[in-house]
Structure 1
Amino acid sequence: MNNNDVMSDILLRLPLKDLVGCKCVCKWWNTLISDPIFKLNYSLRNPQYNISGFFLQKFLYLELHSKLLFFPCEGRVDAAPKPSLSFIEDDKGVCIQHSCNGLLICSSFRCGEEDRKYYICKPTTKQYFPLPNLECRTVFGISIAYDPNRSPHYKIVSICDSYLSKNHRQIKIYSPVTGSWKPSGKPFTVPEEDMLFNRGVFWNGSLHWIGMGNLALRFDPETELMLTMPMPPTQRKPGYFGESGGHLLLVEAYGPLTAGFDIMEMKADYSGWFVKYHLNLDQVARQCQAIERANRLSILHIVHNHVEGVDESFIVIHVPGEFVSFKLRDYSFMDLQTNNHVDSGLGLWYSWEGVYPYTNTFFYL
């Protein structure tokens, strides 16, 4: 056993917060802790840090910070991050803009774009880092592209306005390696219909955006290519768009979701969508009075999960005054665990556009 092995064995026994601090002691310790094999061994040795779930964000009138809840879906409930961004020091308040594999993009809250600051942060360790200013008038969306299985480095992709016209957009990419923003390619045009650039979804190495019409886009941050992808050929509005377990999922609303809906999945080769699940909410309503009496509902989160060959995927929905979760296979209900106080009397209405999936990966800023 050499000196590296001895020191690694010692470092493996430290709590995560102390381990993060050890990176600053010397280059040797920093190299040991940053090694992918060490990260894997630390994760296996410390399952108490394993947690995945989702943040739920709502903006309240005159409140400096957005209201946050966190719902664990897998792992240890006591490992869940605190539903607060108060560790980020910003006198204008802070809100979440995007999430990806354990990292959050946050920004100043109550201010104009010219005063807005952006941060990359990890809530479980309360680390954050301010990003350089984006030299543009309007940021239509900002997203993280990070796959720890492919690279230890993340990239941040912003969709900004362009000097060419109001219908042109310019992509800018931030890399922690260079520590700066750079424009990617030439400005591109978008149609009059609204594109949801503020709801980018990272899947299959690319960021994906859908719109209120038939246009959908995907961008590969490595090749810096922007491509289109097919959408179902019907007029609709998005009822849910997200990724889980390596699957890109979509729900389209053709009418009230209380009548039932299809959960569609994108094929790996982008050749089209197929129906993964069809939900008959009449069957669910027979077991849940909250759904039976609801005149509206929204989808918050879908978790694609298989355990020993058995489909254990489930969905989380919001009906007035209540959060409900059930398995997609047999409609059996599940308890939603949370460390938060959920005040159903506030009358807040949540939707998938205020949901930010979170998985506590072994990563430090």
Structure 2
Amino acid sequence: MYKWGGNKNVGLLTSVKKKALFKKEEDEKKQQLVPYLHKDLVSSILIRLPLESLQHSRFVCKPWFNIVSSPLFIDDHLGRSESVLIFLRPYSRGSLYHSPMTPLIPEKPNVFSVEANLHSKSSASIFGLETLNRQTKFCMQFVEFQEGKSTIRPYNLSCIGRVRAACNGLILLDNKLKKGGLIVMNPVTRKLDALPVGTLCAAHKESYGFALNNVTGDYKVVHLFQDEIGYVSCEILNARTRSWRGTNGPAFGLFGWFGYRSISAIGALHWVPHVDRNDYLVSMEVEDDKFHTVPLPETARTKDGIIEMGGHLCFVTHKGLNIEIWSLESLSGCKWIKRYSISEGVTSDMVPLCSQRISGDVIFRRRDQSIHVFDVKSQVVRKIEMDKEFTPVFDECLVPHVNSLVSW
């Protein structure tokens, strides 16, 4: 019996050795079939993936996660990303803002709730969350433009506050958990942070700017607000200090209010202070927080606007039956150059929305909600084939944006 057991053990050991040898041979064959890929080549492949696929790919393995999370990859991805328009639509359980032009959409399960996620990280009371649950909830979506067509895509997240500003893929949202507060978040990565409450002011008497200081690499939030007698003050929050500080606002006294959202370009934030018959811009340099007035090349009217285009600040204005696009490359000297004069396909109700970051094409919106694009290569205006779902609930929430992996 003893001898038989010994033979059995020897047989098992031999079997294990054979299996190990077989596995080693198989692994060597696989290595021959699938050669080693250098991380630069992997990075070059990953950066060309659609955004949703890229988000999933980062969790395939640790080396891929490190590549996708690296600052170099994030900057490269940002530079390759095209402009989109981010907007809000109400969910189907009812809305004070509902109208036939803004059809309700059903609320899907497993949607990321901005306020619920923020509530879980804060000390806000449960009664505050119950109050929020009774408010109108919005679905955040974006529309992208490719080859003359538009496509609506969801972020699969909900929010209650409005979008106030955007920069490099980050957005500013109203924080409904704290009156006057803000949330900064990336809707792609869903990373978010609550900002300290600043000066409380009525929404129609304030404006926010959001920009990157290219010298320090820090993001800044600029809050302009109007006091009781009509003067404009300014406070600024830096991402590094995370606190508001007052600064000298526009030293132009009682000059009315801001008819347009701020635009970040040429190292500054820019506002159009009047919606009609305006001859200048108000600009604040991001590096030193100094305000300037910048004369416009033509008097601005209600359908005119400013956009960022190819790194420059551009003024888009209706001139007779044409639309002219003027470019400003620097605040030094404030010299405007006429880049385009568009005559064909132009209507008097075309409002500029944004310029595409990669192609340079300019997107316009008409009174009937149709979208038109000015192709800078062919210099032709054409109507875009629109997705029927493109019905933002607020015009002011139609914000130029870029989907990125950038963090606050």
TM-score by length of 1: 0.68
Paired position in structure 2 for 1:95: 162
Alignment of 1:83-122 (within 5 A): 86=158, 88=159, 93-108=160-175, 115-122=179-186
Q: Unpaired segments of 5 or more residues in structure 1? A: 1-5, 286-290
Paired position in structure 1 for 2:71: 36
Change (3 A) 1:83 1:262: farther
Deviating 4+ runs (over 4 angstroms):
11-15, 17-20, 29-35, 56-60, 65-69, 77-81, 149-152, 304-307, 334-338, 348-351
Paired position in structure 1 for 2:144: 72
Tell whether 2:205 aligns with 1:156: no
Paired position in structure 2 for 1:55: 86
Q: What SS does the aligned partner of 1:135 have?
A: coil
CA distance in 1: counterparts of 2:406 and 2:367, whole angstroms: 35
CA distance in 2: counterparts of 1:326 and 1:350, whole angstroms: 24
Change (3 A) 1:241 1:107: same
Of 258, 261, 265 in structure 2, the residue corresponding to residue 199 of structure 1 is: 261
CA distance in 1: counterparts of 2:342 and 2:73, whole angstroms: 43
Aligned residues: 314
Partners of 1:300 and 1:317 within 8 A in 2: yes
Partners of 1:219 and 1:226 within 8 A in 2: yes
Amino acid paired to 1:357: P
Partners of 2:226 and 2:232 within 8 A in 1: yes
Paired position in structure 1 for 2:405: 362
Partners of 2:364 and 2:373 within 8 A in 1: yes
Change (3 A) 1:186 1:320: closer
Q: What SS does the aligned partner of 1:39 have?
A: helix
Partners of 2:371 and 2:384 within 8 A in 1: no
CA distance in 2: counterparts of 1:106 and 1:326, whole angstroms: 30
Give identity over the alignment, percent.
18
Paired position in structure 2 for 1:297: 349
| RMSD, aligned α-carbons | 4.4
Deviation at 1:62, TM superposition (A): 3.7
Task: Write out per-residue CA displacement over residues 205-224 of structure 1, whole angstroms, 9 at most, x where no aligned residue.
Answer: 11111122334211123212
Deviation at 1:32, TM superposition (A): 8.5
CA distance in 1: counterparts of 2:362 and 2:286, whole angstroms: 31
Tell whether 2:316 aligns with 1:251: yes
Amino acid paired to 1:70: F
Of 167, 179, 183 in structure 1, the residue corresponding to residue 246 of structure 2 is: 183
Change (3 A) 1:104 1:65: same
Partners of 1:51 and 1:359 within 8 A in 2: yes
Tell whether 2:361 aligns with 1:313: yes
Q: Unpaired segments of 5 or more residues in structure 2? A: 1-36, 47-52, 99-135
CA distance in 1: counterparts of 2:150 and 2:249, whole angstroms: 47
Change (3 A) 1:355 1:275: farther
CA distance in 2: counterparts of 1:302 and 1:221, whole angstroms: 21
Task: Write out per-residue CA displacement over residues 151-195 of structure 1, whole angstroms, 9 at most, x where no aligned residue.
Answer: 543111111345xx6232221111221121111236844334333
**Rg (Cα) greater in structure:** 2
